Amino acid sequence: MSGFSTRAIRAASRVPPVEQRPTAVPIYQSVTFDARDAAELGEILSGSRPGYAYSRIDNPTTAALAAAVAELEGAEAGFAFATGMAAIHAALLSLVSAGDRIVATQAIYGSSRDLLTQILGRLGVATVFVDVTDLAAVEAALAAAPTRVLYVETISNPTIVVADLAALADLAHRHGASLVVDNTFASPYLCRPLELGADLVVHSATKYLGGHSDALAGVVVGSEEGIAAVRHVQVDTGGSASPLPAFLVLRGIATLGLRVARHSATAADLAAWLEARSGVQRVYYPGLAGHPQHAVARRQFGAAGAYGGMLAFELEGGRAAGAAFLDALEIPARTASLGSVHTMVVHPPSTTHRQLDAAALAEAGIAEGLLRCSVGLEDADDLRADFDRGLEAARRAVRDPAAGRA
């Protein structure tokens, strides 16, 4: 007869038999998995046999998330991570070593820029930034020296530049580089970069894939060979996805199409409305006919018939106007992130791109009065009324700077 503690541990760890298939992926909230014998455990840990042994290496729920995103992106394989930045880190490290060179879009998320310049740069990987809408400039940058990676964002953060992925893939491959695409802003509902020639696609699954601001996760998808290399980086650097966030992102993916369609419709409405408001210098939204890459966006996102939920706009009056606008809003929370059911408005120079000085901001095309808006699922009429309050506050701040500081 076993002692009490032995019986308690066994009783609490016994998995009940389930004959019926669950309609939701179970949360395998277990760090360890019991192999049949020592030989099986060794084979699983060495990768010579499929299975699970230790959740830092793999877990059924996180594997289900990776497989779901791979299927939506048209990829052979995928791997899930704790965050989008962990996914970007592993994707790049799977391709570069000290002495290698990366060409990257100058319209890029601030933390991605820091990863390239401060982290990989310190390890001997050089990065050159280029305007990816200037294909001649991209080709010149690729041709200037051997390049391992061309790194771009489908829709850039925060200036909503749309990359011509098919053209960029052709350039990258002609010069021996791999094309890595951050598809977070678009989601696979709008665009599937692998179909346009990309080699690896990364997502901050925290954003549109999850969609509810309640789970941190990232995913990389690509070929079996490419993901094997990505997985190797993750196993020894530890950016492991957890089962509960993976479950929550899977739940979000089920409604991704419905949500992105609604995000897009409201964003298009709000962008057109903002274009006609006084105090707004410029609106950046791919669905607007005046957007510099509207034709590219129409070609790449045409199957979805939508242009996404992300827009940006510049206010007259710079930082002061931006601060007054944000402080007057009642619907959006004063927070960062994007891709949620909640509308979120941020001032990139002081939040998402706070790492950049004035010169770097100007080089990236980020004006002092730029605001980035992730349009949520609230009613369009309510958002327009709220933004009207913000614009009036911004105009007052321009007319009377002292009042704006009060």
Pick the catalytic residue from 49, 54, 56, 299: 56
**Catalytic residue (choose from 101, 148, 192, 207):** 207
Q: Which two tokens stand for residue 338?
A: 């994007």
Residue 26 to residues 64, 65, 246, 385, Cα–Cα distance (Å): 10, 11, 10, 42
Catalytic residue among 28, 58, 100, 109: 109
Q: Cα separation of 219 and 221, whole Å? A: 7
Token pair listed for 273: 């409305």
CB under 8 Å to 88, separation ≥6 — which residues? 112, 115, 182, 202, 218
Active site residue 37: no
Q: Which long-range contacts (CB under 8 A, 24 or more apart) does 9-13 make?
A: none
**Residue 109 bears catalytic tag:** yes
Sign of the CA dihedral 145, 150, 156, 160? Answer: positive
Catalytic residue of the set 58, 182, 199, 386: 182
Half-sphere exposure of 55 (CA within 13 A, CB side): 17
State how beta strands 310-315 and 370-374 pair: antiparallel
d(CA 364, CA 106) in angstroms, rounded, equals 5
> Is 56 part of the annotated catalytic residue set?
yes
Q: What whole-number distance in Å separates Cα of residue 234 and Cα of residue 81?
A: 8
| Residue 106: half-sphere exposure toward Cβ, Cα within 13 Å | 18
189 is catalytic: no
Catalytically active residues, by annotation: 56, 109, 182, 207
